[in-house]
Structure 1
Amino acid sequence: MHWISPIRRVTSSVTWGWYAISLSWGGIAVLLHQTPHQFHGLPTIGTIIFIVDLVLYTAITLALLLEAAVPPEGSKPWEGPPSFAARVLHIKQPPDLFFAPISLLAFATIIFNTSYYGTPHCGRWLILTLNALFWVYTGVSLLLALVLGWWIPYTRTTPADHYPIVNVLPYFPPMLSGTMAGVLAPHQAPAQAIPMLVGGTTMQGFGFLMFLVVLVQSCSAVGTEGLPIPAHRPEMFIAVGPPSFTIIAMISMAAAAVEKLPTHYISSASSVRTADVLLVVAVAASLFLWTLAFFLFGMGALSMLESLWHRTIRFEQIWWCMVFPITGFVLATIDLGEYLNSEPILWVGTGMTLFQVCLWLAITICQLWEWGGKRAI
């Protein structure tokens, strides 16, 4: 393998799944900004993590672009050149289709953090830029969901050995449009905020309804085939994300609506403020969604603990699947604590934040250790 440069050794191993690393770092930066009990220096730590996330996202993207632009050298004569899908689209195996949307999820966390850490220090131009990015992201995520939603069944592509919940990944990016609308709308003028809230609600509903369909498939698979093999159990935590981020999206968009919507936005309901009703319904609906997220989290946690106890699982890159969904669960808990005015729930959210940061650090250390081991070999 002497003909492969050191850089090419790295870039050739990069796949769509690598964006889960950037996604996890971006989620932790969001969590540190939102955690209820702050201390001096925490915003600086969050900013540093956000900057590292930008570096990770850029490096992964450049690696994929390099692989697409420059054909690999030194391939053996009988192997032939890689196909267009393998080299340019980085679809080396059919299940790779399911993990391509993770790149959009990671980009969404960059937009969140740009709003959180950048808006207080920048002018109006950043607010307008984020408004444009919201609509670009929403359009691209909906188009990707439509293309993959048609192409996957057309080609009879299945997740193969993966846990069936990965079927929800094509519909996850539209869901984050709702979360994005809740984050960005408070800084927008009403003329921009109202369409953003309507669009975010539409995308959130679409993504969550598709999640329910996939959840039924996954539960059916568990009921008939049992738990997935230990190596694939980290993917069970993907199911925690949709109900958690639906809580975040509904509450944050309803709270933004209180400030941005006209008093009687739905004119036929003239006896009450539209936004007040939306906020009450959002908080009430979030309670049963939190219970669903907790149940799915418990299923994944018990399955992982059983594997760790019997030492039937070892670290793989797929472990990054755990970080972002659980981060969403922690953020949803914090939001409920704030809007229910419950200090005990907020302290639970702080404890969950500490646990999540420890999990993120542990997986980061394991990933660095694995990379170091491969370089040593």
Structure 2
Amino acid sequence: MASEESNSSYEQQDNTNNGDDQAQSNGEHDQRKASGIRNRAAAIVENFSFLWFTLSMNTGILSMLMHQLPYQFHGLDILSTIMFVFNLFLFTLFFAILLLRIILYPKAIASALTSDLTELSLTGAVPIAWFTLLAQVGITVSTASWGGGPFFVVACVMFWIGTTVMVCIATLVIVILSKTEITTTDSLSPGIVIPFVGTTTNAVVQLLTVIYQGALIVNYSHGVTPGLAIPVIIVGYMLTGIGLFAALLLYAAFFIRLTNAGLPPPPQRPALVMLVGPCGQASAALQLLGTAAKSYFGKYGDATLYTSTTGETFSAVGTLLGLMLTGMAVLFTTFTAYLILESAFRRQCRYSLLWWSTIFPLATVCTAFISFSEEFNSPAFRVLAAGLLVILVIDYFINWAFTIRDIALGKLLNGRRSEKPASDREKKH
């Protein structure tokens, strides 16, 4: 009897010890799991790429195009507003992560900007995404029943903040290109145009983006006065000059790179669509700035320049130059489309975040088509704008499908720079 009680006591003690060991093991497992999650989150923040802001850019530009499309149907304005809200969410999320990276890992971001041309170029994506939000505040919120004229003032404040940041980024890029060996002519990336073409927004064109946004909010926002509009128009023309002429210099440098070193490797070829951006954005910017000049020059002051006749001249010249620039944008579109399709047929393509850069540059051409449809009252340009928008929306959702797939598979947001594109040029045989 005593022996049975002793055995029972030993069994209870063993069970207690086993339970303690299991609890301790589970606790250690939970700690390791929590530590792993923290380490992965820290690595994601440390290696966060500016490429992610192209998702916000593209969401914003499609929202704008839906709002401005000549062929409107019931519900399109609702879709535009949904895209605007989603863009606001994306920008807030990405900007918060970027701020954490700047605060927690300043050396890592400084190293990336001085050693990785793609990262340096895509710093312009941040203000471009900001400009798409600005545009929707001006053309949607300021005209809504719950919004109103005061929000145009908000849009103007956002414009000047974005303009300052965009010019600072463009200057920073020039300084880094001049003082470091981050790139050579033979390894130049088409993404380098982004900080200089910041006038609208497109994974490709950055300084011009600033200009176009200025024209857009002046033309389509509610409660605009000449006193608010004229400074935006004047600065808009200056910024368009920065974007366009800097892009022309970079076009020349990039074509020297093509003749000396050949094409980029197939995985990087989607980025070539960025070459479309400067011309498409400049075309849209000049047209919209001309329209704004025609509307407001005659209403502002007694200066010799500010007359209705001068405004009409600016508008006509803007349309003429816009046609020429759109022709160049179409040439770049066919060039890059051929190269991408060739790589696809040869099964040389693989998905990366660079595919997001195929939307914004073409969206600038769509914006130009919409402006032409209004200037010429042209059904042909309306059809072109609508058809191109449909293609861009399809491209947008395909990109989201692949992005979500790669996140689920651990290829993106895995704590490593897996979203960083290959940097070597195509090998010659």
Same fold (TM over 0.5): yes
- Equivalent residues in 2 for 1:127-146, closer than 5 Å: 127-146=152-171
| 1:69 partnered with 2:94 | no
| 1:334 partnered with 2:357 | no
- Equivalent residues in 2 for 1:1-377, closer than 5 Å: 3-4=35-36, 5=38, 7-8=41-42, 10-70=44-104, 84-86=106-108, 91=113, 93-95=115-117, 96-121=119-144, 122-158=147-183, 164-173=189-198, 174-186=207-219, 187=221, 188-262=224-298, 267=304, 273-374=309-410
Give deviations 1:223-248, integer Å, cap 9, x for gaps: 33332211111111111111111111
Give deviations 1:303-341, integer Å, cap 9, x for gaps: 000011110011111111111111111111221122111
State the alpha-carbon separation in 1 of the partners of residues 263 and 177 from structure 2.
Answer: 24
The residue matched to 2:304 in structure 1 has which SS?
A: coil
State the alpha-carbon separation in 2 of the partners of residues 89 and 110 from structure 1.
Answer: 29
State the alpha-carbon separation in 1 of the partners of residues 375 and 410 from structure 2.
Answer: 48
State the alpha-carbon separation in 1 of the partners of residues 249 and 287 from structure 2.
Answer: 23
Cα separation, partners in 2 of 1:163 and 1:45, compared to 1, 3 Å: farther
State the alpha-carbon separation in 2 of the partners of residues 269 and 192 from structure 1.
Answer: 14
The residue matched to 2:410 in structure 1 has which SS?
A: helix
Identity %: 21
Larger displacement relative to structure 2 (357-366 or 164-173): 164-173
Give the CA deviation at 1:166. 2.0
State the alpha-carbon separation in 2 of the partners of residues 267 and 67 from structure 1.
Answer: 50
Give the CA deviation at 1:66. 2.5
Give deviations 1:276-325, integer Å, cap 9, x for gaps: 11111111111111110000011111000001111001111111111111
State the alpha-carbon separation in 1 of the partners of residues 142 and 265 from structure 2.
Answer: 45
Cα separation, partners in 2 of 1:69 and 1:19, compared to 1, 3 Å: same
The residue matched to 1:39 in structure 2 has which SS?
A: coil
**Residues 64 and 90 of structure 1 are in contact (CA less than 8 Å); yes or no, is this contact kept in structure 2?**
no
The residue matched to 1:314 in structure 2 has which SS?
A: coil
Cα separation, partners in 2 of 1:172 and 1:85, compared to 1, 3 Å: farther
The residue matched to 1:22 in structure 2 has which SS?
A: helix
Letter in 1 for 2:59: W
State the alpha-carbon separation in 2 of the partners of residues 370 and 197 from structure 1.
Answer: 43
State the alpha-carbon separation in 1 of the partners of residues 407 and 57 from structure 2.
Answer: 19
**Residues 248 and 335 of structure 1 are in contact (CA less than 8 Å); yes or no, is this contact kept in structure 2?**
yes
Letter in 1 for 2:354: I
Larger displacement relative to structure 2 (37-46 or 115-124): 115-124
Cα separation, partners in 2 of 1:115 and 1:148, compared to 1, 3 Å: same
For the pair shown, the structure with the greater C-alpha radius of gyration is: 2
What is the aligned length?
Answer: 364
Letter in 2 for 1:37: Y
Q: Which runs of 5+ in 1 are unaligned?
A: 72-83
**Residues 15 and 90 of structure 1 are in contact (CA less than 8 Å); yes or no, is this contact kept in structure 2?**
no
State the alpha-carbon separation in 2 of the partners of residues 104 and 193 from structure 1.
Answer: 21
State the alpha-carbon separation in 2 of the partners of residues 233 and 50 from structure 1.
Answer: 29
Give the CA deviation at 1:50. 1.1
Cα separation, partners in 2 of 1:126 and 1:161, compared to 1, 3 Å: farther
**Residues 257 and 275 of structure 1 are in contact (CA less than 8 Å); yes or no, is this contact kept in structure 2?**
yes
State the alpha-carbon separation in 2 of the partners of residues 291 and 257 from structure 1.
Answer: 24
Cα separation, partners in 2 of 1:175 and 1:106, compared to 1, 3 Å: same
Cα separation, partners in 2 of 1:224 and 1:162, compared to 1, 3 Å: closer
Give the aligned CA root-mean-square deviation in angstroms.
2.5
Cα separation, partners in 2 of 1:89 and 1:140, compared to 1, 3 Å: farther
Cα separation, partners in 2 of 1:87 and 1:240, compared to 1, 3 Å: closer
Question: TM (normalized to structure 1)?
Answer: 0.89
Q: Which runs of 5+ in 2 are unaligned?
A: 1-31, 199-206, 415-429
Letter in 2 for 1:150: V
Letter in 2 for 1:111: L
Cα separation, partners in 2 of 1:269 and 1:27, compared to 1, 3 Å: closer
Give the CA deviation at 1:148. 2.0
